[in-house]
Structure 1
Amino acid sequence: MKISGATITTAPLKSFKYTIDIKINASREAVIELEGFDSWTEISHVCQKGMKISDATITTAPLKSFKYTIDIKINASRDAVIERLRALILGQKFPMCVKKGMKISSAAITTICLSNSNKTQCKCENQYVWSTKQCSKHGICGPDQNDTCRCNTSPPTDGTFCSRPHAPLKSFKYSINIKINASRHTMIEHLRALILGQKFPMCVKKGMKISDATITTVCLSNANKTQCKCENQYVWSSKQCSKHGVCGPIQNDTCRCIASLPNDGTFCRRTPSPLKSFKYTIDIKINASREAVIERLRALILGQKFPMCVKKGTKISGATITTDASLLFQPTGRFATDHMVKKSLFIKNPS
């Protein structure tokens, strides 16, 4: 046995294709101008055998948009110049393109200062106002509203102009419960006197004030018992009365004294205002073909106890049959047995 020849062959290599994005930060436009760079020969030299760059393209990220507000001061010796400028602005369509990528979105006259030998007045155009700082610094020559004004008596030297009024701040109201532990009853009396002597609303800081303060609940404990009593115009809820036991009279499912301190952080609440009660009279017409139906209905009403509760807060105080029209004569000589019954329901519905 002899081997006359041998050949080694290799399987073809698999080919992979990649797309690579390269981000270049350039501070000048000249850096990304590749004029004279006609081929990618220089880049190809760095490629290894079996690796080549098939294509390269420069793409740009979307440009960021910037918005500027530019104030322009114009000195005019005649009022007609201002009117002419106002007419030009009103007649211009916005946005107005200045050059590629730049446009003026709007233009408006905000401030007009008029001077003579006696006085100077700087007035704001419609929808513009002077800030609180400018009003107090330069003096006002017109009504003020929400700490702003539309006219002051001298032109600002810091280059400021009238501005659009800020949107009114939303107002939020909070009820804060504060628990105070006192070892002596005199401390409670002293606190009560302080609250009674305080004028409300009381300003805490700009934009924040205390509209009211009151003592709602006083709990007194000794070795034998604990009693939590409500101040005037405050009561314990029905739930707290039944849960902790009462130590005083009950009225409208509420009480003013319970026999233990609630551990869920609840306090006495204001006495709820009584619900308004409305009374309606409802007439119901019933068509019945037999008199027995009417008698059955009459028996049901007589056997019903009133007031009858329909749902919480709604009850029927009374019901009665008021009208019975029967035996109506017909031209054929027959007597009709169709009965018309009118029933009145008196419904009391507090809301």
Structure 2
Amino acid sequence: MAGQGKILKYCVGIIIAVLVTHECVVETLDFPETSVDLEFSYIDGRLHHRIPRSAGLELLEFIVVIEVNASQAVVIEQIRASLASITFPLQLDNSTEVTAANITTVCQPNVTEYQCVCEDGYAWSYNNCKTYEACGDISFGSCGCINGIPSDGDMCVLESELPFTDFLFEIEVESSSISVIDEMRRYLQNITFPLQLDEVVEVLDVDITTVCNFNDSGYKCVCEDQYFWPCDKCKEYGSCDGITNNTCSCINDIPSDRQFCQTVSEITNNTACGQPPSVIPVPAEYLTEIQIDVDNPAIIDHLRNLLMFFSLPYTVSDSTNITEINITTVCSLNETQYQCKCEGLFVWPNDTCHSYEACDDITDGSCTCINALPIDGQFCQLKEVPPSDYVLDLDVRFYDLFLITYLRNLFTNISLPLTLSNSINITNIDMTTVCGLNGTEYECKCEQNHVWPNDTCRAYQVCDGIVGGTCGCIQALPSEGPLCQRDINECEDAVSVCGQYSDCINIIGSHVCSCWSGFNTFNKDSPVSRNNSCQDINECLFSPSVCGPNSICTNQLGSYNCSCLDGFTATVSSFPISINNTCTDVHECLNTLEVCGPNSRCTNSVGGYNCSCLSGFTVTKSSEPVSTSNPCNVTLPLTEYLIEIQINSMDSSITAQLRNLLMFFSLPYTISDSTNHYRNQHNYWYDLWLCFYQCKCEGLFVWPNDTCHSYDACDVITDGSCTCINALPIDGQFCQVLPSKYMIDIDVRFFDLFLVDYLRYIVRNVSLPLTLRNSINITDIDMTTVCGLNGTEYECKCEQNHVWPNDTCRAYQVCDGIVGGTCGCIQALPSEGPLCQRVTLPLTEYLIEIQINSMDSSITAQLRTF
């Protein structure tokens, strides 16, 4: 710790010396006062050994992080210049030296933002670029500027020390065309690496490692150049090219773990083949195709003979040998056609035969002659000859049971495949039959998982019984025919035996296939097999429907699903929908408010419902149906405006023309969604007035009484109005429409008799006429009808001086009797027609006698005249 303190002291001393220099510079240059704060931290680590190990000492390396707070950019520049002038390494004492001093990060305000910029050779990590928003581009997972100071104290780091993660992706491409794979090879060779995908991801390398294809002998997976199968894969799946240096480049299947070929450096624990590990590099093989243009067949034959007797391998250099030379393709004119024929064991692949019109038969997906030279430069390819399989029966004769047991163990522990030569492998060794004396009887017994076939069992005396057409022991060794045969479990790969969606049951010497539930064979009269495989049954096509009415059936693989149509639900909700649990109509209107919204009426229908607004309410959006999201609102009353337009014209023809124009104007005329013009046939009026020397009113318009008197009416004043005056009123008032009388029925619903009496009191005590506004007066208020329960009966009774008319009394049940063609009570509220009507009282005549005491005959005569 004392050593660490000393190092810090020296570092602090250097920095203070540098900063003092800056302070002097600042004062000399007459800059504003600068405040400098220092914060220190250090990171210790092991140095490389710079002194002999025998001394037993190790040098310690310290990275000292110093934060300088300066408000002037010139200070930072001066620090940068001073550090650049220091010669490193800087020896502090015999055991301490400063190897470098660098400015890594400069933070300062930039107009409205605070930015931290990295010096040359330094960068912000990707996390800081994202957390504090990079103020420049993010490239290769780093940036040079961020909009903030990291809260964890992070500074810019050397670009070489930025964290990067390497990923290895294996991509499997399925293609049966060799030309596609070759095209992919050529494409990958032309890509320039590293390939930048985005701001943080780059592809360093792309390689094809493994090519798997299917031929007559089954699957083969071959490694590309510089890639190999590890020894365990060579053993597990069988090498098709031999095992060398504990690796092979071809196996007879696709590994179940999807592991592909690897480089030698990636293959570990690879001594399972029993061969010693080798560091000898695997030689690379190259196929060189040479095109020779000659038209003379004699030269081609001469070339054939020359190559036939060429001594191979032919050494080109210490590291290069020519191991094989072949003529693959010969192209020439055949009379009028250009043909390319393959030599020896070479053939054209299937797609080339079809693309360029084969001039011989296509056999096993290949041909030997086409009518063109392929434009992709591809020549004939070596035909892959499938390896030959041989079964060798070895008859070993001895009667020592110990030796038989030893032989069993020996065969069990042999590592297979066993390579005899480059072209011969032993892939399986099987001990099938053991014959010997059992007491006085000679018996031939089958080894485990082996049986005698049915014919042999019946030809020779069986010593254990025949089961499933096979037996395990006979009392002779057949002079001809096979020995015991392996009882193969044909169901190990059920799909390849029975096809998809089936079960395979193994029996001795055979198997039985059956379809899964929900599946059936296309040909129901034939047994299940790979050629008559199981197919999904579409239960939704059954008649009657498996789901029942008002439902939807959805077919699924091996099954089906039932669901109800919109507006229907399962009769029993806890059970799935079926022919026994059908879909019934949903009564959506049980809660109108939740279905249609407020102020609405819900009408149920089969499989649905209909919403409508109550009287006095309208839907919010008229183009859409009523719903909770489009509710009913109170209908706002229309506002009427009277617009008067004055036209000054002395020409009566213009007035007549205007009259005709307005007469035939199509109304209502929409100005906006809420504004219309109407004409008089809809009980709304246009106000047209005409003034010449006189001002006359049109149609149903009149001058009011005071105007008639003020401006000298030019026609008769009737009912307090006239239609003609001899001037235009100076107050700008025009002719006015005659007042209209309206009778409004108000339906008030409540069943509290106290409230009914209270309403009667209010109606009787209203002071009439009641002015609502200048043009509207209420002249009469009449309470006519009261409906409510009378015990258990619903009755509608008329108020005082009101009766039900005769038709209404007869249409509904009367609860008080019909008198004079009217009644006062019925047992319903009529859906249409008037309510109770006021009784018209007959006029009463009175005879009045007046006695006048007068002797003056003139008064009497005057009274007579009156």
Same fold (TM over 0.5): no
Query: TM-score, structure 2 length as denominator?
Result: 0.17
TM-score by length of 1: 0.39
Point out which structure has higher relative CO (alpha carbons under 8 A, 6+ apart).
Answer: 1
